[in-house]
């Protein structure tokens, strides 16, 4: 069964749960029309189902290849990228002045869910390009914007993020790549970066690398890191790619999954680059890309979970084993109660994670576009609170659901040639990159909860309790039971939040940090349950 995006569920989650319609008419989002949502989702669904999904297992088995001329993408990927580019999908959220369509991030996130669900290895390429566009919009000089944004927005060129080095994993302050000023205002960048997603390939005309490096007089640690734009090909006077720059891929990582995504070891040898933002302020610039990437990675968990559910559900309808009352002969395993329990668990957790991610994206849109300063501030608090939960809870969920998918397949799920096995392998990277999930948990406790003195979580819990009250008011026996469970969850989360706040203000912060992952898991369970309950209440009064 090929991947087929659940369009009605996605649209319902965007509108009835995440509140997408709140964005209508806001400055910068004038192009958004609620009537466009379903047509956009339908067209993206066709690309995902008909073009990207058929290449998923081909890419897994054959992968990208490093040649003397650089990296050659997996078979069919260049043609698929051309279809993605020509469809205008890279420009969904970019401002119209740079060739974009000015649509909400939340809508683009739903589109990217489909692409990740159909072919995660492929979708990683535009995911990094979206981040590069965000960084240039926020921090790039006018010259850099003019030279690079139109082609990044159109998808003619792609972008990357270069942080990690062999001796420096998550500790960005330990990086050693250097950047020496040249007389023409550029910088000579030298060093080695590892784990660079789509660091080299042949699907686009140029690659725009965003590279963290140190200036000669930079202070030690993260305070001495600057950000540079380093293109694969230097631009000619007319703005088109010309001479090859001093950057190349010297190795492809051999990974557990996402084999068709070229994860590169990149070598910079006096490569010409240009400073983005202020000297020694590169980490702040890069966090613009990181925050965007963290939510995008969260939706990867949703996407792979959805694909795993669809694959397991199709298998459960076809695989016959055992006897069931009322079924003549061997019964499809879908008739067995434990298999149905597994499938229901998969579907519910995917729906909860989708709601968390979409709600985070709507908050991000409101934080930028709402006309009222108080609304913007409240939306920013919500975005900050949900981002680490969206990234960590959703990607842990993706691994768990993919594992359940393998279990439903039984022995067949353990065979490498099955899609179930591939999805399990592909999903495992998501809790690691763009900040491990342990780092997300520490960020939730140390910055997002404590930084607002608990206000962001107090407001969230108020909404959870309001949802529980709405469910109880329906007098539907099932919803009343759900309301009671949701209230109990909210109380547990409130108690845990108060304890965390107390520990972080005291002298034994390690106690809070040791429990941070469990706290994030609880927050995701409760907030995800809140959104599922909101959806259930809304569905009672809809068609």
Catalytic residue annotation? 434
Please measure the distance between the N-terminal and C-terminal CA atoms of the chain and give it in whole angstroms: 28
CA 450 to chain centre: 25
Report residue 75 as tokens.
């078979």
Query: H or E segment at 214?
Result: none
Q: Residue 240 burial (CB < 10 Å; 0-12/13-18/19+)?
A: exposed
Report strand pairing: 263-276 vs 247-252. Answer: antiparallel
Report residue 459 as tokens.
């407001």
Sign of CA dihedral 248, 254, 255, 260: positive
Cβ-contact 120, 24 below 8 angstroms: no
Helices 282-318, 105-139: crossing angle, 10 deg rounding: 160
DSSP string, 46-115: HHIIIIIGGGHHHHHHH--EEETTEEEPPTTHHHHHHHHHHTTGGGSSS-GGGT-----HHHHHHHHHHH
Give the residue carrying structure tokens 């999903």.
427
Q: Measuring CA to CA, which residue among 197, 177, 185, 319 is closest to residue 246?
A: 177
Dist. CA 164–CA 211, nearest whole Å:
10
Dist. CA 196–CA 213, nearest whole Å:
15
Cβ-contact 178, 191 below 8 angstroms: yes
Dist. CA 137–CA 5, nearest whole Å:
31
Helix-then-strand count for the chain, H and E: 15, 11
SS3 call for 71: strand
Cβ-contact 456, 448 below 8 angstroms: yes
Kindly report the backbone phi and psi dihedral angles of residue 541, in degrees, each rounded to the nearest multiple of 5, phi listed first. Answer: -105, 10
Beta-carbon contacts of residue 41 (< 8 Å; ≥ 6 apart): 5, 7, 10, 11, 110, 111, 114
Report residue 426 as tokens.
């592909």
Query: H or E segment at 67?
Result: strand 65-67
Q: Measuring CA to CA, which residue among 139, 46, 42, 153 is closest to residue 95?
A: 153
Report residue 17 as tokens.
């749960």
Q: Residue 184 burial (CB < 10 Å; 0-12/13-18/19+)?
A: exposed
Give the residue carrying structure tokens 């576009």.
369
Cβ-contact 490, 526 below 8 angstroms: yes
């Amino acid at each position: 069964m090929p991947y087929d995006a659940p369009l009605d569920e996605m649209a319902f989650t965007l509108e009835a749960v995440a509140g997408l319609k709140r964005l209508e008419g806001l400055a910068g989002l004038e192009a958004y029309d609620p009537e466009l949502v379903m047509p956009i989702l339908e067209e993206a669904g066709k690309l995902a189902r008909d073009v990207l999904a058929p290449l998923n297992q081909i890419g897994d088995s054959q992968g990208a290849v490093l040649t003397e001329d650089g990296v050659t993408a997996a078979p069919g990927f260049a043609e698929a990228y051309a279809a993605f580019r020509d469809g205008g999908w890279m420009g969904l959220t970019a401002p119209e002045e740079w060739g974009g369509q000015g649509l909400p991030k939340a809508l683009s996130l739903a589109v990217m869910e489909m692409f990740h669900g159909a072919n995660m290895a492929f979708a990683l390429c535009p995911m990094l390009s979206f981040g590069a566009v965000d960084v240039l919009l926020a921090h790039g000089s006018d010259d850099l914007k003019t030279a690079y944004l139109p082609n990044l927005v159109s998808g003619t060129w792609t972008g990357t993020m270069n942080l990690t080095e062999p001796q420096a994993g998550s500790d960005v302050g330990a990086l050693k790549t250097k950047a020496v000023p040249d007389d023409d205002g550029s910088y000579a960048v030298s060093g080695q970066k590892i784990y660079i997603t789509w660091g080299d390939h042949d699907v686009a005309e140029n690659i725009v690398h965003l590279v963290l490096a140190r200036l000669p007089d930079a202070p030690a640690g993260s305070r001495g890191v600057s950000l540079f734009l380093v293109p694969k090909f230097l631009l000619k006077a007319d703005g088109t790619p010309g001479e090859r720059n001093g950057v190349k891929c010297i190795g492809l990582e051999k990974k557990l999954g996402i084999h068709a995504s070229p994860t590169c070891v990149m070598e910079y040898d006096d490569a010409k680059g240009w400073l983005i933002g202020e000297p020694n302020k590169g980490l702040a610039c890069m966090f613009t890309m990181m925050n965007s990437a963290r939510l995008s990675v969260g939706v990867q968990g949703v996407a792979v979970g959805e694909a795993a559910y669809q694959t397991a559900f199709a298998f459960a309808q076809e695989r016959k084993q055992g006897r069931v009352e009322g079924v003549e002969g061997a019964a499809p395993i879908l008739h067995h109660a434990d298999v149905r329990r597994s499938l229901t668990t998969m579907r519910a957790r995917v729906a909860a994670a989708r709601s968390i991610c979409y709600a985070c994206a709507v908050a991000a849109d409101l934080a930028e576009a709402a006309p009222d300063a108080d609304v913007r501030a409240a939306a920013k608090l919500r975005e900050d609170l949900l981002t680490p939960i969206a990234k960590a809870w959703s990607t842990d969920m993706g691994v768990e659901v993919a594992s359940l998918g393998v279990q439903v397949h039984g022995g067949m799920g353990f065979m490498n040639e099955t899609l179930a096995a591939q999805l399990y392998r592909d999903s495992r990277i998501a809790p690691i990159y763009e900040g491990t999930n342990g780092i997300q948990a520490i960020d939730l406790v140390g910055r997002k909860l404590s930084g607002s003195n608990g206000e962001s979580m107090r407001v969230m819990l108020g909404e959870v309790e309001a949802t529980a009250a709405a469910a109880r008011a329906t007098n539907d026996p099932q919803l009343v039971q759900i309301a009671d469970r949701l209230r109990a969850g909210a109380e547990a989360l409130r108690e845990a939040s108060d304890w965390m706040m107390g520990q972080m203000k005291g002298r034994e912060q390690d106690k809070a940090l040791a429990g941070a992952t469990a706290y994030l898991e609880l927050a995701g369970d409760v907030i995800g349950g809140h959104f599922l309950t909101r959806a259930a209440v809304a569905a009672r009064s809809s068609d």
